[in-house]
Structure 1
Amino acid sequence: MKKRLVTLTALAVAAMMAFTGCGGGNSSSDQAAEGGAEGSSAGAVQLTLGTGGTTGTYYAVGGTMSTVLNNAMENVSLKVVSTGASKANILDIDEKISDIAIVQNDVMYYAFNGTDLFEADGSFDTFSAVAGIYDETCQIIAGPGITSIADLKGETVNVGDAGSGVEFNATQILAAYGIDINKDINKVNGSFGDAADSIKDGKIDAAFITAGAPTTAVVDLAISKDINLLTIDDEHAEALMKEYPFYTKTIIPGGTYSCVADDVQTLSVRATIIAGNDLTEDTVYELTKALFENKDALANSNAKFAELDANAAVQGISVPFHPGAEKYFKEIGAIS
């Protein structure tokens, strides 16, 4: 297990979690003692589900999973916790603070291989994939004078927060078009909201945003200013998918944003559920099966689950599946 520096506050939280039984301890005696959440069996194995910030999509998705699946599973229950999202969730599972988590599939690829976001941390092999649940789309937003990714050379472009997954997406996509992110554009780092405001005010020319479409910041921008969504054509999409197996092709339908009438092809990464490798096959099998057998109830509570599909769930997954998830997907023919 890799260790990271933690603050006194984090240590106190970890100690409290261990004392109350809300952490990632996975021995059968610990799990039996914890009991189940509301709607689940008293002896259910309680899994801590790492998500993201309390105002973010991951936290809302996790809450829906807990509400719906705790009433559907007999032997497993979910306890949702707010976290620092993808990278923090990888580290939390490694340290057994969480048992399962939601991450971007590109971030889990970096973690498994010890590259990019995890170059300084090294590789992690303490987690495995459960299922991709919905697309987080690489949206390249530009002012009306820019109509292709090649046009970004020499322009001022927001590429997401420094060191973020968005910045790595931008680096990879620009490089496919022969553009060096550090030499060939005027790189600006900032949030989605910052990017939208800066395009509106004419301070920047374009921005990379990796998020589910429609994205609120872009919806608001498109109401007040004409924008273009830039296409990733087949040739470049295929090259990127070959080099980075976490990417999948995506179409942003025309009308998603008010001033973009036509469909636009781009790439997506997927919000993906991962699990600690120490979880039993039976536990993860029950969770995976319940996830797909309760799709309608999940989608009724959170629109993100409308994208849930067993065949799509195994696409763009470039790390091993947990044996429990693999068993389910083989049963239904999603993998061979």
Structure 2
Amino acid sequence: MADVDGKTVFMNGSRVARACLVILGMIYGMAAQAADQSILIGTGGQTGVYYRVGGALCRLINKSPLGAQVKCSYATSGGSVANIDDLRAGRIQVGIVQSDWQYHAFHGSAPEVLGAGEFGNMRALFSLYSEPFTVLARRDAGIERFEDLKGHVVNVGNPGSGQRATLEILMRRMGWTMADFSEIRELKSAEQSSALCAGLVDAIVFTVGHPNPSISEATTACDTNLVSVENQAVDALVRTTDYYARAVIPGGTYKGNPDDIGTFGVGATVVTVKGLDPDLVYGLMQAVFGNLGRFKKMHPSFGRLNPLTMLGNNSAPFHEGALRYYRKHGWM
């Protein structure tokens, strides 16, 4: 009987062992599945602030509790318009875009640039810093005002970049076409500062937060000046839209440019799609806003961020996970 009992005990033990292996396998499979989840953030050129934003967000996410379940990575891109296209196509899960292009994408109001219709599934997460439209010229080109660009060689930016799209909108308001420049270049943001100092172009354009590494590079390497962008077309843009506002690039931000420069600007925003898991988005929000003090130290452009201003500059509805986070903290 003892042998029988012993055998019975052994069999029960085998069943328990097998059950434990099954449970462990399920847990391992779930963990592996969770680890396989990923967030890819579309940013901008490698020398731009959008790329720094992507890196900062991923560092916060990967070191947060969400990082045990989701791997965050970030990639260079052509800029705002390219990020919208990639988000719509499902190639990225989060994108950094100018506030004007968030508006145009959601409402389908710029088909000549974005091509497709309304991006109704776009959802806002939060906004970041102001991005003045910025024109930098070689001083010997004699370009002091935006109107002086006529007849010069100008880098208009690569197709898909936010600065090019914003430049084209301003040009249409002024009745200009690309033919008003003697020549155009379509260099990426990482290439244009060296091209300016090499004399390959007379002026370059940005829509960026300041200070910007590319502009610092150019103003240090050669004699350049920031260009005033203040005229009736700008007045009309600011007056008739919700996403453009007057902006000033403070004097002394860059070498050789001691005076304030007036222009207009947008805001940098972070967007996703409606279908992204609300719990994942909530964890992303917690990773960012729960470590906002640390985030603000990651780049000079982030220094003035606060939760309430980060709710502004958004045209698309907030994602369900973001809304839940904001409401929990009494910000909405």
**Which of these residues, 68, 72, 78, is aligned with residue 79 of structure 1?**
72
TM-score by length of structure 1 reads: 0.72
Contact 1:134 1:305 in 2 (8 A): yes
How many pairs align?
297
Seen in structure 2, the aligned counterparts of structure 1 residues 249 and 317 have a Cα distance that, compared at 3 Å, is farther
**Which of these residues, 132, 135, 139, is aligned with residue 137 of structure 1?**
132
Aligned position for 1:49: 40
Aligned AA (1:131):
F
Following the alignment from structure 1 to structure 2, what is the Cα–Cα distance between the partners of residues 235 and 332? 42
2:40 aligned counterpart, secondary structure: strand
Aligned AA (1:127):
M
Contact 2:143 2:149 in 1 (8 A): yes
Following the alignment from structure 2 to structure 1, what is the Cα–Cα distance between the partners of residues 121 and 35? 25
TM-score by length of structure 2 reads: 0.73
Offset of 1:82 from its aligned partner? 2.4
Following the alignment from structure 1 to structure 2, what is the Cα–Cα distance between the partners of residues 313 and 31? 35
Following the alignment from structure 1 to structure 2, what is the Cα–Cα distance between the partners of residues 203 and 95? 36
Contact 1:110 1:118 in 2 (8 A): no
Structure 1 residues 201-240: aligned runs within 5 Å:
201-233=198-230, 236-240=233-237
Aligned position for 2:284: 287
Following the alignment from structure 1 to structure 2, what is the Cα–Cα distance between the partners of residues 184 and 194? 23
Alpha carbon RMSD of aligned pairs, Å? Answer: 3.4
Following the alignment from structure 1 to structure 2, what is the Cα–Cα distance between the partners of residues 239 and 222? 31
Offset of 1:273 from its aligned partner? 1.4
Contact 1:270 1:316 in 2 (8 A): yes
**Which of these residues, 225, 241, 253, is aligned with residue 238 of structure 2?**
241
Following the alignment from structure 1 to structure 2, what is the Cα–Cα distance between the partners of residues 98 and 201? 35
Gaps of 5+ in 1: 1-29, 38-45
Offset of 1:179 from its aligned partner? 4.6
Aligned position for 2:100: 106
Structure having the higher helix fraction is 2
Cα distance per residue 1:112-157 (max 9 Å; x no partner): 2332565433332222111112344321112442221222233332
Structure 1 residues 61-80: aligned runs within 5 Å:
61-73=53-65, 77-80=70-73
Contact 1:159 1:188 in 2 (8 A): yes
Offset of 1:188 from its aligned partner? 0.8
Aligned AA (1:125):
G
Following the alignment from structure 1 to structure 2, what is the Cα–Cα distance between the partners of residues 117 and 50? 25
Following the alignment from structure 2 to structure 1, what is the Cα–Cα distance between the partners of residues 182 and 281? 46
Aligned position for 1:17: none
Aligned position for 2:17: none
Cα distance per residue 1:159-183 (max 9 Å; x no partner): 112453222211222344x250324
Relative contact order higher in (CA < 8 Å, ≥ 6 apart)? 2
Aligned AA (2:105):
A
Contact 1:99 1:276 in 2 (8 A): yes
Structure 1 residues 178-217: aligned runs within 5 Å:
178-191=174-187, 192=189, 194-217=191-214
1:174 aligned counterpart, secondary structure: helix
Contact 1:69 1:294 in 2 (8 A): no
